[in-house]
Each structure stands twice: as C-alpha cells, then as structure tokens.
Chains A and B, each alone.
Chain A
Amino acid sequence: MATTRALDAKPAPKPDQPADAARQVPRRRPRAWRWADIGEFAGSAASALLLTWLIFDRLLPFRIQGVAFVVGWYVLTLPVYWLVVRDGHGPVAAKDRLATVLIASGAALALSPIFLVVGYVTVRGLAVVDFGFLTETMELTGPLSEATDGGLLHSLVGTLEQLGIATLIAVPLGVLTAVYLSEIAGPLARPTRLVADAMTALPSIVAGLFIYSLVVIRTGWGFSGFAGSLALTILMLPTVTIAAEQVLRVVPGSLREAALALGSPYWRSVLLVVLPTARAGLATAVILGMARVVGETAPVLLTVGGTNILNTNPFSDYQDNIPLFVFNQIRSSKQTFVDRAWGGALLLLILVLVLFVLARLAGGAGPGGRSRRRKGTAK
C-alpha cells in the first residue's frame, strides 16, 4: 500500500483522495468541551442564580443588590457545579473542573480592568476625535466653542519632538551602557547595573524637578520642549539600558569566539557581530523605552510649560504635549474641555498601542527580516 502511494505520488487525481478520506473520518479532539459539559456549567450557574435570588430576596430580612448579588452568585455556583460534576464524573474530575473555573475567572478578573479602561476611554474619546482634532490647536478655542472645535496639533507636535529628542539622546547612551555591562563587564559593571535597576523605579516627578531646577531655572533657559526631552531621557535611559543588556546577553558566546578566532579586535566583534545579531531585540528595547515615557505627565509638567499655541521649535519657548493637554483640559469646569481631554487620552492610548505593535514586530522579525540587506548584497 505504502509503495503504491509512493509510486503514484505524481498523478493529479491522487491528491484529492487523502482529502476525501480526511472528510469521512471525523477528527477527534479529546480536549474539546462537549455540549454536555457546557450544559452542566450553564445549569449550575442558573441554579446558583435562582438560589442567590431566593436567599437575598426571600429569606434574608434585608435586601442586597448589585455587586454583592454577583459575588453571592459566583460563590454559590462553585459548590453547585462541583456537586453536579462529582455526581456525573467522579470527585477527581470535579476538582479538576473547579480548578479550571477558578483559574479562568482569575484571568478574566485580571483582564477586565484593561478592557474597562480601554473601552471607556475609547467611548468617551471617539465623541470628539475627528480630523480637525489632529489638525487644529487650542489657540482660538474658547469656553463657548463646541467640543469638536479645536484640537491638539500643538500637543501632538510637542510629544513627537520631545519623544524624538529623548530617544536620540537615550538610545546611544543606553546601548553603550548595555555593551559595557554585558561585553566589557568592567569593575564598574555591578554598581552601574545597580543604579540602572534603581533608576527604573525613580519617581518621574523627581526627574522633572531635577531638570526644572537645573535647566529651566539655573541656566535661565526657561521652559522648553528640550528641557522636557531631558527629563524624559532620565526616565528612558535605565529602561533602554536594562532591556538592551538582556538582549545582548542572549547572543551566544560562540559567535563572539568565532569573531575573535578570525583575528578580530574586540570592539569590531561587538560592532559587527554582537550588535547586528541582537538588532531585533535592540529595536524592541528602544521602543519599550519610548512607550515607557510617552505617557509621562509629571516630568513634562515641570519643564515644557504648557501652551495652547503651536510651537514647532523645541529649543525655545513653551511647548505642550499630549499628557499635559489631557491634564490641563480635564481640570476645566466646562464639559467641552473635559470631552477634549478624553480625546487626548484616546490618542495617547493609540500612540502607545502603535509603539507596542512596532516592538512586537521588531522583536518577531528575527534574523530572517533582512530583505533590505539581501537586496544590497545579492550581486
């Protein structure tokens, strides 16, 4: 039989036959939930619901509503379900199912805040976000304007510029520090790593205060987008350093040895072998650092000033950015301003989402993602 199939592998009608065979034989999924299982759970939940209603509405001398009712329902479901399954499948299966339900509800509970936050911001924000929201500023928007008037172009420009400058400063410094920590591992590596670890927990307002007193006040530069970038750099640097170091540590030592065995000086082996091998992970590290600081409010509150007017020059005069926009708008007593704040929050969420998607893409690209290089070398 096997030989016949091997010999007849070429002819056209043959490939259909295995497909037919597959269609006739139903595939068995031993782990799948059957309707009976779902029925057991649904029945347990329904009986627990009625039991809860009976207890709270008929037996107790007082009425309990809302959250307590749901909690009571959940707590009663567990023993009812356990009894039902034990009756049908035995005590071992009952314990297994009960554990499954507990773990699944734990995961659902942990996930729910995320969905609630994202969902609520999306609903509130979509009411004001339109094209004009991205292309207008608040310069001519007063208390009597509609919620859909005005926009956060000035804040968006500020955020992008400040984030860009912070990235330009923090990434080379962070990657070089990571190279020192993982490749050179000199005598200062331990204290450096300790400080970098501690700095990830640095309260962001402290970074803001530091730049405020040093750059904004002491040098007399005043508020500017650049001062905000410096404050963001302080927060971004340890994140990038630690993430990059972890990525460099994963590069196999055999590659370093191979480079050295070819007669390479150490710095060239790092530059031409270690860093390119880790570049997908390094891109992830950079984007994680950016996502860490893009939503920071405290440091920019003390350094960029905040304004309603578009200022594209980050090096002088007040700038704005999106977290600051949200902060300023939400404090207003006018509903239209509060609505715009939610629009700003939604935009910030989208920005962070884009950064994380980019990080995942860069991290997943791996060594295969080099179509650009391939074009350059395939002659």
Chain B
Amino acid sequence: MTETTAEVTAVEEFAPVVEPAGGTLRGVGVSAWFGARKVLENVDIDMRAGVVTALIGPSGCGKSTFLRILNRMHELVPIATLAGSVLLDGDDIYGTALPITEIRRRIGMVFQKPNPFPAMTIGDNVLAGLKLTGRKVPNREQLIEESLRRAGLWNEVRNRLGAPAGGLSGGQQQRLCIARSLAVRPDVLLMDEPCSALDPTSTRRIEETILELKDQLTIVIVTHNMQQAQRVSQHCAFFLAAEDEPGRVVEQGDTDFIFGSPKDPRTADYVNGRFG
C-alpha cells in the first residue's frame, strides 16, 4: 500500500511542466562479478531525465563498476559477468532490441583520466564520435562550435582547433572529452570521477558545465568529493562494501536528504567525513 503511494508521488514528481530532455536509465537488481568475486549486489537506482544523479561511497565499493555496467563497458573485462538489467527508456540494454554500438552512442561516458585522442587535432577529437560511428558530418564547423560551447571550452580553443589535443591542459582535455561525448548527442552522460585528476579551477569549470547540461541530458556522476556531490547532484546514492562482501546501495534519495538527515548512521558518518 505504502509502495503504491510512493510510486504515485514519484510519477507526479516526474511530470513537470516542461519535459526535460534525456533518457531515463533504470538499474534493476544489478549484481556484478569479476571471475568468482562478487563486487556488486542487487542495486536498484533510477536515473531520471533532467536530474543529476551522484554515486558516492568509499573506494572499492562498486560505484565505477555500476557506472560501467550502465553503458556496457563492464563486459570489456573478459572475466566480468553481471545479473539484473538496465533499462534505457524501458528497453533492456543487455537485451537484443538495441545494438551495442547504439547503446553506447546514446549513453556517453567521460572517464576519470582525460583521454583525448592524441593523434587527432582538437576539432577532430570533437568529431571523433561521428567518424567512429560512421556517420556523415553535414556541418562540421557548426557541430564543433556547438559541442565545445556546451562543454564550456569554445572560447579557450576557438583559434587553435587545428592544434593537437595533447597540448591542452588537463582540465581543458577533460572538457574536450565532454565535448567529444556531447557531439554524438547522447541521451545520458556517465561521468566517472571526472574531476579527480584536475585542479580546483578546472573542477569548478566542469561543475558549471554539468549544471548547464543538466536540463539537456541525464547525468550520472561518480565522485569522491562530498562537496561536489552536494553542489551538482539532486539525487544521490551511497554505496558501501563491507570487508569481503559485495558493494550495496546503503541509502539513496534526494541529495539534500542524504546530506541533511540520512536515516542510516553509516551514511551520516560517511557524508560528514568520519570514515572513508
């Protein structure tokens, strides 16, 4: 009975006046293994459009694994297996309905370490996704500018689009990677600790970028930085793994709730910096 009411409220919440763009991603009962070692157990998270979802928790609790499951990067590790399903707008991405390349195009990813393609120029890096998916670029200059503007990098590189991407600073490279992901027009953007290798100024730029992108696509971010999770996210899931046990979601909900008055004492300890 209570569950039904909760669902109704969720649906009501989910129907704002202006429909935010992006896809809805749902992890349903996701578990994951590397070989015989179980690293993730029974994770259910709703990642709704127009909402930034933050995954927090100490190292080794399965946040990144869960994120990589969301766009089928998990299976690049030969011994990796999983259970449960991930639904993108209702379709199971591990089913046969969608080809894997289409799934990965619709669910983009930004990695912990900036990884622009060193053999390409800045402009080519932005267009790399289209080239790699074999699509024509009708108006390359316009797409480059639009993607770089959305990633907040346009003004810094507008005069050197033909320069090699390796010459940019770490923060610029990371924003270039965001622009590269945006150029293929994904519905969801996954970010795996995108600021952990960057200085505070670059971090701030990327957080601004996230907030600007929030209404254009669904964003899921893994972060070790509590303040960052508080600043950029609206929904928050706390992962925790006890010793020799798989990671689980201890608590999730609105970011204000998780950081303000969490129900679980472990969550309170973690977000207040008492462990982890």
Contacts and interface: CB of A to CB of B under 8 A. Distances in A.
Contacts of A272: 128, 131-132
B180 interface: yes
Contact of B162 (A252, A263, A277, A377): A377
A144 interface: no
Nearest to A253: B76
A193 B230 CA distance: 52
B180 A262 contact: yes
B119 A368 contact: no
Contacts of A76: none
B113 A254 contact: yes
A188 B189 CA distance: 37
Chain B, interface size category, equals 35 or more
Interface string A348-379: 00000000000000000001101001100111
A263 B102 contact: yes
A255 interface: yes
A276 interface: yes
Nearest to A375: B162
A374 B121 contact: yes
Contacts of B235: none
B111 interface: yes
A378 B162 contact: yes
Interface in A213-267: 252, 254-255, 257-265
B101 A258 contact: no
A215 B76 CA distance: 45
Contact of B101 (A252, A255, A265): A265
3 tightest A-B CB contacts, nearest first: A263-B105, A378-B162, A264-B132
20 contacts: A257-B111, A258-B109, A258-B111, A258-B115, A258-B177, A260-B76, A260-B104, A261-B73, A261-B109, A262-B108, A262-B180, A262-B181, A263-B132, A265-B133, A273-B128, A276-B119, A368-B164, A370-B121, A374-B121, A374-B162
Given A264-B104, A264-B133, A276-B117, 5 more contacts: A258-B115, A258-B117, A258-B177, A262-B108, A379-B162
Interface of B: 71, 73, 76, 101-106, 108-109, 111, 113, 115, 117-121, 123-124, 128-129, 131-134, 141, 161-164, 166, 177, 180-181, 184
